[in-house]
Structure 1
Amino acid sequence: MRLVQVLIPEGARAPVLDALDGEGIDYALFDEVGRGDFEAMVQFPVPPSGVETIMERLSEAGVPEDSYAIVLPTETVVSQRLDALIERFPGLRISREELHARAEDLAPANSTFFAFLILSTVIAATGLLLDSAATIIGAMVVAPLMGPAISASVGTILDDREMASRGVKLQVIGLAAAIATGAILGLLLQGSVLIPPGVDIRQIPQVAERTSPNFLSLFLALGSGLAGALSIMRGSGSTLVGVAIAVALVPPAATAGLGIAFGLPAVAIAAAVLVLVNLLAINLSALLLFYWAGYKPLDAGQFERVRKSFTSRILVIAVGIAVLSIVLGGVTWASFQTASFEQQVQAEFQQGFEEADIEGVELVSVTVDYEPIDLVLGNEPQVNVLVAVPRDTEAPPDLAQRWDDELSQEFDRDVVVRVGFLEAQISEREDPTPPFGDLRARSQSIPQRGASASVATV
C-alpha cells in the first residue's frame, strides 16, 4: 500500500477532489498555509498498482508536473475499506514515477560506482586464482552492476535519455575497467611469491568455467536480467538479484583480465565473449519485461518516439547476441562432442575387458584428455589407460599401439594412447574385489600429453 500526498495548485481544488471521488478514493484534505502557489494538500492511500492511474487523473484535473507529489510506502494500514481499493487496482506493479525514482537511486555516483566495481573485481580475481566459489560470490555482493543495467532499460522505456545514456556508459566503461583491473592484478601477482611459477590458470576450475561459454550462459544472463527488472517492479529482493547480475559479468571480466596478464589470448577472448553476451542478454530481458509490463513515457506525447527507440535498441541487441551466439554454439557443440567421445571410449574399454575376461587382469581407469579447444584446433585426443596385471603375467609390448589403431579406426580420427601397468594381487575369496582404491590416485601421475602411442610401466 502507498500513501500519496499531493499539493493542489490554486484553482484546482474542485476538479482534483472530483477526480478522486470518481475513482472511489478516500482522502484527507488540508489547507495549505505556505507559499501562495498552492491552496491545499490532499492525502490518500492507494495500492501500488493504482498510483500511476490516479496520478494521471490528477494531472488531467489540473495538477501540473511542477507540482509536488510524494509517494510513501506504508508499513501497515488497518481498515476494512481497503478491500474495495485492492479489488479495483489488482497487481503489484509499481507506478512509472516510482520506477523512475528507484532506477535513479540504483545508479550510484561515478566515484562510488567505480570504487566498488574495482574492489569487487580484485576480490573476484583473487577468488578465481584460489579456485574459491565462496570468495567469488562474496565479491558479487560488492559489485554495483545492477543499477546501470536497470537504469539503462528504465531510461529507454520512460524516455529519459540522460538516464539511459548514463546506464549504458557505466556498463561499458565499468566492464572495461574490470578487465583492466584483472589484467593489472594478474601482472602484479605474477611477479610475487603469491602465485607459484609456471602456474597454468587454464587448469583452475573456476577460470576454466568462464573460458568455455555455451548457451547455458545465455540462459543465466537472461534470467538475471528478468529477475532484476521484476525485483524493481515488485520492490523486493533487489540486493540478492544484484548478486545474480554481477555473477554473470564480473567473474568473466576478471578472467579476461587474467588471460591478458598471463599471455593467454584464447582465455581473454573466450571470457570477453562471455561478458558481452551476458551484458547484452541482461539488457535485452530487462527491456522486454518493462515494455511488456505496460510502462509508458513520463511525457505521454513521446510514446511513438519511445516505441521506435525501443524497437531499434532491441534489434541492435538481438543482432549482437545472434553474432556472438555463433561462438556459443561452437563451444556448445565442441563440448558435446568431446564429452561424447570420452564416454564412448570409456564404454569401449569397459566392454572390451569384460568380453576378454582375462584372469587377474583388471581395468583400473580410463581417462581422456580432450577439451573443446582441442577439437577446434584439431589436436589429437589422448587416452590414458591404467591396467592392473598379476606379477606372473607379461604385458603385450605393443598394447598401446594396438589400442591406438583400434580407436582410430572406430572413431575415424587419430588418437594418442598411453598405457600404464600396475602389479596386482587378488585375494582368494568369492567375488574378489582388487584393492585398487589407492592405485587409482597414482594413475593421475601418468603423463597427460605425448606425440605418439607408448607403453609406460608403473
Structure 2
Amino acid sequence: MHLRLIVPPDRSERVLNTLVDDPRVTSIVRVQGAAHRPAGDMIECDVTREAMSEILSWLKQQGLYDDGAVAMSSVDAAPSRNAQAAEKAAPGAPDDAVIWDAVVDQAYNEAGGSWVYYVFLTLATMIAAVAVVTDSSILVVGAMVVGPEFGVVAALAVGLFLRKRGLTERSLSLLVKGFVFAIVLTTLAALLARAVGWIDVADVTADRPLTGFIWRPDKWSAVVAVLAGCAGVLSQTAGRGNALVGVFISVTTVPAAGDLALSLALWVPDHIGGAAAQLGINLAGMTAAGVVTLVLQRRIWRLYLRAKRRRGQAGARVEA
C-alpha cells in the first residue's frame, strides 16, 4: 500500500524516524514544507498491508488525522528488492490483513446515499420486472449485476460489527429508502404498462420455469445469502473487488424487488408475500454473514500475530 502523509513540522522528524526504523516500510520520501493545506511536510512511503492498520493507528495517536492528512492507495506491483524485503519482515499474507480504517472509510462512502445509487437500484429493479414478464434468466442476471445494494449491506455489517451507531442507522435507512423508492417507481411503471395492455396478471401467475424461484424462497435462499455475504465482505476487506461480480449474481435481492413491484401493480397477493420474504431473507442473511466474517477475520488475525510473536520470542531465546 502507498501512504501519503502531510505532517505538521513539529512532528515531522518523529514520524519520519519511526517509519524509517520499521522494516515493513520502504520507499520513504520526505519533502519539507511541500504542503500548504494543511501546512506541513509531505512524507510518502510504501507499507505492507499487514502493517497498515498498526501504522495508521500510531499516526492517529500522533494527531495526523486531525492536524495533518492521511491518504492511501493500492500498489499494483512492487518488484524491487526493498519491497520484497519489507514484505518478508511482515508476518502473514497480504490478503489476510484487514486495513480497518480503509474499511470504515469505504463503508461511510457506500452509506452516503447519492442519487446515482437510487437510479441504479431503480433501473435494476425495472430490469428484474421485465425479466419476470419475459421469464428471462439472462435479464435476471443483468438486474443482479446492475444493482448497487451490496455495498450498503456491507456498510451495515461494518457498522454493526464496530458498533458505530451512526453508520448502522445510515446504512439501514439507505437500504430501506432505496428499495422503497425503486419498488414504488417500478410499480408505477408496471401500472402504466398494464394500462396500455403490455402486461396482465397471467404474466406473473403463469408457470415460470426460469424465474419462478424469485418469489419462492426456501432453505437454499438463506444458504446462498450467507455464502454470498461472506464472499462479499472478504472481497472488500482483502481488496479483491473482482469477486464482487460473483456476489451480485448470487443474491436474489433486486430480482425479488422487481417481482414484488410487478405483483403489487397486478395485485397477486401470493407473489407479494413470497417476493418480500425472498428480499428480506437475502438482506438479513448477507448482513449477518458479513458481521460474522468480520468477527472471524479480526479474531483469526490477532491469534496469528500472537502465535507469530511467541515463535519469534522462542527463537530469540534459543539463539541466546
TM-score, structure 1 length as denominator? 0.58
Q: Identity, % of aligned pairs? A: 22
Alignment CA distance shift 1:146-1:238 (3 Å): farther
In structure 2, what is the Cα distance between the partners aligned to 1:200 and 1:113? Answer: 27
Q: In the alignment, does 2:29 pair up with 1:31? A: no
Q: Which residue of 1 aligns with 2:144?
A: 140
Q: In the alignment, does 2:212 pair up with 1:208? A: yes
Q: Contact (CA 8 Å) 2:35, 2:42: kept in 1 or not?
A: no
| 1:45-64 equivalent positions in 2, closer than 5 A | 45-61=46-62, 63-64=64-65
Q: Which residue of 1 aligns with 2:5?
A: 6
| 1:438-449 equivalent positions in 2, closer than 5 A | none
- Cα shift at 1:233: 0.9
In structure 2, what is the Cα distance between the partners aligned to 1:230 and 1:218? Answer: 18
In structure 2, what is the Cα distance between the partners aligned to 1:139 and 1:37? Answer: 44
- Cα shift at 1:244: 3.0
| 1:189-208 equivalent positions in 2, closer than 5 A | 189-195=193-199, 198-199=202-203, 201-208=205-212
Q: Which residue of 2 aligns with 1:240?
A: 245
In structure 2, what is the Cα distance between the partners aligned to 1:273 and 1:207? Answer: 16
Q: In the alignment, does 2:263 pair up with 1:259? A: yes
Deviations 1:423-454 (A, max 9, x none): xxxxxxxxxxxxxxxxxxxxxxxxxxxxxxxx
Q: Contact (CA 8 Å) 2:6, 2:69: kept in 1 or not?
A: yes
How many corresponding residue pairs?
293
- Cα shift at 1:202: 4.2
Q: Contact (CA 8 Å) 2:30, 2:41: kept in 1 or not?
A: yes
> Which residue identity is paired with 1:6?
L
In structure 2, what is the Cα distance between the partners aligned to 1:101 and 1:285? Answer: 20
- Cα shift at 1:95: 1.2
Alignment CA distance shift 1:131-1:8 (3 Å): same
Q: Which residue of 2 aligns with 1:353?
A: none
Q: Which residue of 2 aligns with 1:149?
A: 153
Q: Which residue of 2 aligns with 1:84?
A: 85
In structure 1, what is the Cα distance between the partners aligned to 2:217 and 2:119? Answer: 28
Q: In the alignment, does 2:20 pair up with 1:15? A: no
> Which residue identity is paired with 2:188?
I
> Which residue identity is paired with 1:53?
E
Alignment CA distance shift 1:37-1:68 (3 Å): closer
In structure 2, what is the Cα distance between the partners aligned to 1:228 and 1:170? Answer: 19
Q: In the alignment, does 2:90 pair up with 1:99? A: no
In structure 2, what is the Cα distance between the partners aligned to 1:124 and 1:164? Answer: 28
Q: Any gaps of 5 or more consecutive residues in structure 1? A: 296-458
Q: Which residue of 1 aligns with 2:309?
A: none
> Which residue identity is paired with 1:51?
M
Q: Contact (CA 8 Å) 2:40, 2:68: kept in 1 or not?
A: no
Alignment CA distance shift 1:200-1:165 (3 Å): closer
Alignment CA distance shift 1:123-1:108 (3 Å): farther
Alignment CA distance shift 1:187-1:229 (3 Å): same
* 3-state SS of paired residue (2:30): strand
Deviations 1:240-270 (A, max 9, x none): 145236x420111221222223332111111
Deviations 1:313-347 (A, max 9, x none): xxxxxxxxxxxxxxxxxxxxxxxxxxxxxxxxxxx
Q: Which residue of 2 aligns with 1:66?
A: 67
- Cα shift at 1:94: 4.0
* 3-state SS of paired residue (1:284): helix
Alignment CA distance shift 1:290-1:220 (3 Å): same
In structure 2, what is the Cα distance between the partners aligned to 1:57 and 1:200? Answer: 58
Alignment CA distance shift 1:177-1:83 (3 Å): same
Q: Contact (CA 8 Å) 2:38, 2:68: kept in 1 or not?
A: no
Q: CA RMSD in A?
A: 2.6
* 3-state SS of paired residue (1:78): coil
Q: Which residue of 2 aligns with 1:302?
A: none
Greater radius of gyration (CA): 1
Q: Contact (CA 8 Å) 1:145, 1:242: kept in 2 or not?
A: no
> Which residue identity is paired with 2:227?
G
Q: In the alignment, does 2:171 pair up with 1:172? A: no
Q: Which residue of 1 aligns with 2:130?
A: 126
TM-score, structure 2 length as denominator? 0.81
Q: Contact (CA 8 Å) 1:10, 1:37: kept in 2 or not?
A: no
- Cα shift at 1:130: 0.2
Q: In proportion to residue count, which structure has more helix? A: 2
Deviations 1:10-31 (A, max 9, x none): 3223332342244223322221
Q: In the alignment, does 2:190 pair up with 1:186? A: yes
> Which residue identity is paired with 2:107?
A
Alignment CA distance shift 1:59-1:173 (3 Å): closer
Q: Which residue of 1 aligns with 2:118?
A: 114
Match of 2:233 among 229, 232, 236: 229
Deviations 1:132-183 (A, max 9, x none): 0101111222211112111222233445433322211111222233433443
* 3-state SS of paired residue (1:203): coil
Alignment CA distance shift 1:291-1:67 (3 Å): farther
